[in-house]
Chain A
């Protein structure tokens, strides 16, 4: 992968980190809310943020180190990616059962369901942005060739899948930092 695309990918990743950090800062809990322990779903959101960030960073590293066609040409890299995905999402899924078992009483109530429902908007925005970015980037790179390597279909799918999961986790975490009014 050439220097230009490597730099672009790394800068994009840095931009994502800065934007997410700014969002978290703008929605930081006020003083009186800081002593509220995290709800079970909130804990799941934080775990999801960590897992999807790690998987996304892993995918980025594989693309930078091996190339955009790593899934097709490099067995070790491809297996590494599958393991990363299975272990990462497996941990996220398993953590919910652990959280449920450790929580006494109700685990998800109306406030949690409202936050979960609203987290979809963050997920949607991120998925749309990623699809727009992919469409523009691939059109500009391959418009002269008239064809696009099929490996990019895998990259588009997996990166958007991970981005969507990241967006859902982020939406959950942000939701607990905002005031919620349930429409009765």
Chain B
């Protein structure tokens, strides 16, 4: 199965939002801090619902937070 390349701006958006901590973002998005860490390292591709919840925390659209760059 080809691997989906999905990058994100979570770390930058977190700092723009008053230096929100990873734990705080995790609590608001309904996931663990470890998931936020691996998301920021782009070592994990979230489900659509988690991606939407994270985007909602930042009050952004999903395309403003995540970028899909095709499959390899």
Contact = CB atoms under 8 A, between A and B. Distances in A.
Contacts of B38: 33, 36, 111
Contact of B44 (A40, A103, A105, A180): A180
Interface string B52-70: 0000000000000000000
Interface string A5-21: 00000000000000000
B50 A110 contact: yes
A180 B4 CA distance: 11
A10 B49 CA distance: 49
Contacts of A36: 34, 37-38, 41
B43 A111 contact: no
Contacts, number: 70
A148 interface: no
A111 B31 contact: yes
A181 B45 CA distance: 5
A140 interface: no
Interface residues of B, number: 23
Contacts of A42: 34
Given A32-B41, A33-B41, A181-B3, A105 B47 contact: no
A179 B31 contact: no
Given A32-B41, A38-B34, A105 B48 contact: no
Given A36-B38, A39-B32, A105-B27, A110 B43 contact: no
Given A105-B33, A112-B32, 6 more contacts: A33-B41, A36-B37, A36-B41, A104-B27, A179-B43, A179-B44
Interface of B: 3-4, 23, 26-27, 30-35, 37-38, 41, 43-51
Interface of A: 32-33, 36-40, 42, 103-112, 179-184
